[in-house]
Amino acid sequence: VDSKGRGRGTGALLVNAAIAEARQRGCMEIGLYAREHNVPFYEKLGFVYTGPEMRQSL
């Protein structure tokens, strides 16, 4: 969310809409990559921090 729109619940609305869509499509789990300073935001929405992820581009 753009800095001008932060703190108004827009991010939570977007994430919750994505979660609802995933549930509707039969998904059992949803995951994401977040910057460390955003972890508390996602934890408030029910996500559980499981540690850093590693990837390699091929």
For 3-29, how does the pLDDT look when each residue is reduced to its tens digit (9 = 90+)?
Answer: 887 888 999 999 999 999 999 999 999
In a domain, residue 25? The reply is: yes
> Distance (Å, rounded) from C-alpha 48 to C-alpha 44?
9
> Distance (Å, rounded) from C-alpha 17 to C-alpha 26?
14
Helix (H) or strand (E) holding 11: helix 10-24
For the chain, give the mean pLDDT: 88
In a domain, residue 54? The reply is: no
In a domain, residue 22? The reply is: yes
Its domain, for residue 8, covers: 3-44
In a domain, residue 24? The reply is: yes
pLDDT at residue 54 tops 90: no
In a domain, residue 50? The reply is: no
Tally of domains within the chain: 1
Q: What percent of the chain has pLDDT over 70?
A: 95
The residue ranking higher by pLDDT, 44 or 7, is: 44
In a domain, residue 49? The reply is: no
- For 29-48, b where at least 16 C-beta lie within 10 A, e where not — what string? eeeeeeeeeeeeebeeeebe
